[in-house]
Amino acid sequence: MIKPFRIDIPQADLDDLNDRLSRTRWPNEVADAGWDYGFPLARLKELTEYWRTGYDWREHEVELNELPHFTTEIDGQNIHFVHVRSSKPDALALVLTHGWPGSFLEFLDVIEPLARDFHLVIPSIPGYGFSGPTHERGWDMIRVAWAWAELMRRLGYERYGAQGGDFGSGISMALGAVAPEQVVGVHVNYLPTRPDSDAGIELSETDEARLDKVRQLMANRPPYQALQATTPQTIGYALTDSPVGQLAWIAERFAQWTDPTTPVSDERMLTDISLYWLTATAASSARLHREAPRRSEPCPVPVGVAVFAHDITQSVRPLAERRYDIRHWSEFDSGGHFAAMEVPELLAEDVRDFFLTRIG
């Protein structure tokens, strides 16, 4: 039921990518546009030229294949995952879940430090990367969580923790809800807390400022989210047909969601974008935004939260404590939405502290 997997992209697909990049049809841009109208033309041309002439997918493919990759079928869907066992036989297992526009690649820099103390299972969400496209409705975060519970059962783990950011946060919380007897705790680095006028809680100025940011996001839905949550198939045509379109769509998120002092390298970002392109999963990954509003029951297991200063929204602890059993709370001055890629040392240490110290 579980099969070893090796990454081997056909050369014809890489040649096709190079050809498409060389024939890009560029739009014009108004003078001094900056970021006012979207991703700047000069920066996108720079990234495109590097993707075409400097970036080497094969080099990264070799490095990625040094990891133990596997696939299995769960609920009619192919599931790809990386499984790294700790040298400690009795180590606790952790399932690490990425978000959008990330992938299992988000966790590359935390594998070594976390594997010292944990067995690691790093799946690709159905519809993403090597899990391949989904083919039916209903792959929401709850269904993904059930799939993760089955995956961990097949791997023989009776007790395990969960960690994630972005969609990975919601999936990890849902996993705690659907498998509370197995999940010992959930650690997240993204936990939106909505304003609650009935909470009757006096908040600090810092927390009020954070809620103002949440209110702004709620009032002005980001364009990418609006499109993917309403017409993911429509935007999928453009992203699946144009590599530069896919590049701009994701690179804009990396530019806007990271801490300027801890940027993700172009090399790592292009590997992530190449994964979306080479697996043709732009549309299927976008569908999770449409499915996402289906919510799980409140997570009943202990929760740890890491708040990074430059994330797109920061959690408010008094409001989070009304819904979750918060056992651990850390706040960091650096790092953004892609914490595992931006500040892997900080995230790994926080995860270790939560699972080994706070809940044992």
The confidence score (pLDDT) of residue 76 equals: 97
d(CA 178, CA 142): 8
Phi-psi region of 32 (alpha: psi -120 to 50; beta: other; left: phi over 0): left
Residue type, 165: G
The confidence score (pLDDT) of residue 272 equals: 98
Query: Which residues lie across from 164 on neighbouring strands?
Result: 97, 188
pTM of the complete model: 0.96
The confidence score (pLDDT) of residue 39 equals: 97
Candidates 92, 104, 155, 153; CA nearest to 130 is: 104
Q: Are 228 and 6 in contact (CB under 8 A)?
A: no
The confidence score (pLDDT) of residue 296 equals: 64
Query: Which residues lie across from 2 on neighbouring strands?
Result: 72
Candidates 266, 242, 347; CA nearest to 305 is: 347
- Identify the burial level of 162 via C-beta atoms within 10 angstroms of its C-beta, where 0-12 means exposed, 13-18 middle and 19 or more buried: buried
d(CA 340, CA 268): 12
Q: Are 310 and 334 in contact (CB under 8 A)?
A: yes
Return the CA Rg of the chain.
20
Overall domain count for the chain: 1
Residue type, 248: A
The residue segments making up the domain with residue 77 are 2-24+32-358
What is the DSSP code string of 238-298?
A: HHHH-HHHHHHHHHHHHHHHS-TTSPPPHHHHHHHHHHHHHTT-HHHHHHHHHHTT---PP
CA distances from 44 to 245, 247, 254 (A): 10, 8, 13
The confidence score (pLDDT) of residue 195 equals: 79
Q: At what angle do helices 344-353 and 108-115 cross, to 10 degrees?
A: 40
CATH number of the domain where residue 304 is located: 3.40.50.1820
Q: Provide the strand spans (E) within the chain.
A: 2-5, 69-74, 77-84, 92-97, 118-123, 160-164, 183-188, 302-310, 325-336
The confidence score (pLDDT) of residue 112 equals: 98
d(CA 113, CA 111): 6
pLDDT along the chain (360 residues), means of 10: 97 98 97 95 98 98 98 98 98 98 98 98 98 96 97 98 97 97 98 79 87 81 90 97 98 97 98 98 97 78 97 91 95 97 98 91
Mapped onto helix, strand or coil, the DSSP state of residue 304 is: strand
